[in-house]
Structure 1
Amino acid sequence: MTDLAQPLSGVRVADFSRVLTGPFATMLLGDLGADVIKVEPPGGDDTRGWGPPFQYGHGQVGEGGRESSYFLSVNRNKRSIILDLKAAEGLAAARRIVEGSDILVENFRPGTLERLGLGWDALHAEFPRLIYATITGFGLTGPYRDRAGYDVIAQGMGGMMSYNGDLGGPPLRVGVAVADVFSGALITQAILAALYQREKTGVGVRVDVNLLESVISLGSSQVGRYLATGEVPAPIGNDHRSIVPYGTVRCGDGFVNIAVGNDALWRRFCGALNLTELGTEARFATNEGRVEHREELDVLMLGALSDFTRQEVMDRLDVAGVPCGPVNDLAEVFADPHVQARGVAVTVPHPTLGETTVTSPPWRFGGEALPVRRAPPTPGQHTAEILAELAGTSDDT
């Protein structure tokens, strides 16, 4: 393992977050080489109980303990310590962890850590180099400041559910917690920028993101369309509002996603699939015309594509250089030879499960994959180890 594969080696993170947004962010920091100390309450992170499904040790129900797949998905490359912050001893240990840390990450409701003496103002005065990262549902100011934040609430309030789904259908939540995950990615970016800034100033800063504004930001072109025109976007299924054809098309035996992003690709698309007449029609010659005549084109394409299997469509479009891909379920994703060649699924030893499989960190540094150094921890797995480090009786590991 080279230094490139551990760019945050030597950086310590005091992780007071739980559930998804904060744990996703601290997992990314751990992937980058930081020593992430996950501070859990006596009952553990809530997501340890979010199941089924659970993974059981030794392959048998009830043997060797169990872990929820939800927890396992966002907690690799961390150490766990159990602390009761309502008890003087637990709070004192938490302060010692913070004292030795570069970054604190938390996603409590505003005011919670302040009441424990672990708020930004108190800690910044005592540890001026500390970077303090806060994730909330709605921000640190405003009428909704004290509301609890959950992904589905943010997706609804941020407009995303209004333009997601099928034309004429009900509001639809995106099938993964995008508000949580995107907020976690955004706070990670802010933390890394704050680390860089600290190198120049010597002083840490508080950074914060919230789920609502993250969802609004994620709306990108949908939000831009509204701000530019006042037009409220409606659901349009898998199609694209400004590019045609772009999205999911039905073949004789399944579905393929296509991305015909310009007029040259359109001509190649038609040539590859024997759509000569469509390719020569003036009303479809430009993207603007195809958007205007979207419904007519969909009907004509559907009839033509029904003559081909999914694989035939992809083979023909690949040869023509037209971007395309199958609509895979997750079994197909992880059976894909490219996904396997990239090592996206990594099996690691686990203290109670024997082993578990997690996804790999999503970056390469200098062409080198970042390692999964630690399996997601069991509750308090490293409590004794970390307390010994705090007492100065063992080397930092």
Structure 2
Amino acid sequence: MLSTLDTATNPLKGVRVLTLALNLPGPAAVMRLKAMGAKCTKLEPLAAAGKHTADPMGIYKPAAYQEMHQGLKVLQAELKSERGQAALHKQLAQTDVLITSFRPSALVKLGLTWRALHKRYPALCMVSIVGALGERAEEAGHDLTYQAEAGLVNGLDVPASLYADMSGALFATEAVLQALLLRQRPGRSQGKGVFHEVALSQASAFVALPRTWGLTTSTGEVGGAHAGYKVYPCKNGRVAVAALEPHFAQRLCEAAGLAQQAALQMHKRTTHQGIAQFLATQTRAQLDKLASSKDIPLHTLPR
């Protein structure tokens, strides 16, 4: 598992997290919380006969499910039954933060509204992951629809990653940290649980801000208008060039054999053409060596 967290410090050691969230945003958030030292438990619906889990991710991508749930205590219960409710509340009685990903109407049916939980467990914090805020929280949606709404879907191509889900996971992680900090803040509400609602549409809109600002459109500085920030073909593959700052642009232009003033004209067609012609003659190995020797930010890729 890739992580930049310093798990040795365990900032969330002693914090108990219970998650009912399925699929991707919730489990990905819990993966981050566990890496910070939280003791995490997941309560899933009962698995169908012959199945290991009822979580959709565990069914259509077991490897992803296994990575997100590594070292996680996973229990199963039917929350609509008395026995399932008893199992749930046994866990809630010893939980600091509850994470859910149900629609508000489903929380009502399960007796898991914030008002009901806060009354029964005053110190419990809750993070509810929804598709959108307010009345739209009942709308059906998925990562792709939230990305489309945020302007991140181009043509008929599916986006390269699940940006709404993964940014939603980070929003949920942030919400947990906020709730815990607010719970311990001195004042009238010290020791009282805090509720946060996280919307995937909101997370997707945040990720889309560079595009909203015009940075990543075709005329934007990092959308292809700047000759030093593009993906070009090379002799045996492709190269992602990120020579945006003037000193990087200068080194790139020098390597390409362009006139000195080219680094000051990175938006001109001739500069684009000159860099493209140079890169087309270079192999990936040559470009990797160039990046190292001349300190130029680039990364080579296969075709």
- Say which SS state the counterpart of residue 178 (structure 2) adopts: helix
What do residues 243-285 of structure 1 show as CA deviations (whole Å, max 9, x unaligned)?
A: 43113222211112221122222221222x2x33x2324xx34
Q: Which residue of 1 aligns with 2:280?
A: 306
One-letter amino acid of the counterpart of residue 240, structure 1: G
Q: Which residue of 1 aligns with 2:243?
A: 260
Q: Which runs of 5+ in 1 are unaligned?
A: 52-67, 163-169, 227-232, 330-397
Question: In the alignment, which of 20, 23, 29 is matched to residue 25 of structure 1?
Answer: 29
Offset, 1:234: 4.9
Question: In the alignment, which of 262, 267, 280 is matched to residue 260 of structure 2?
Answer: 280
**Superposition RMSD on alpha carbons, in Å?**
2.4
Question: In the alignment, which of 290, 297, 300 is matched to residue 266 of structure 2?
Answer: 290
Distance 1:156 1:328 in 2: 28
Offset, 1:15: 0.6
Work out whether 1:215 is the aligned partner of 2:204. Answer: yes
Could you tell me whether the CA contact under 8 Å between 2:228 and 2:252 is conserved in 1?
A: no
Distance 2:27 2:75 in 1: 14
Q: Which residue of 2 aligns with 1:148?
A: 140
Distance 2:167 2:71 in 1: 20
Distance 1:16 1:279 in 2: 61
Q: Which residue of 1 aligns with 2:3?
A: none
Report the CA distance shift for 1:266/1:235 in structure 2 as closer, same or farther (over 3 A). Answer: closer
Offset, 1:223: 1.4
Q: Which residue of 2 aligns with 1:138?
A: 132
Could you tell me whether the CA contact under 8 Å between 1:238 and 1:248 is conserved in 2?
A: no
- Say which SS state the counterpart of residue 174 (structure 1) adopts: coil
Distance 2:24 2:182 in 1: 27
Q: Which runs of 5+ in 2 are unaligned?
A: 1-5, 48-53
- Say which SS state the counterpart of residue 91 (structure 1) adopts: helix
Work out whether 1:184 is the aligned partner of 2:166. Answer: no
> How do 1:26-175 and structure 2 match up within 5 A?
26-43=30-47, 44-51=54-61, 68-139=62-133, 141-142=134-135, 144-162=136-154, 170-175=155-160
* Runs of 4+ residues over 4 Å off in structure 1: 233-239
- Percent identity over the alignment? 25
Question: In the alignment, which of 323, 326, 330 is matched to residue 300 of structure 2?
Answer: 326
- Say which SS state the counterpart of residue 249 (structure 1) adopts: strand
Q: TM-score, normalised by structure 1?
A: 0.67
Distance 2:221 2:69 in 1: 32
Q: TM-score, normalised by structure 2?
A: 0.87
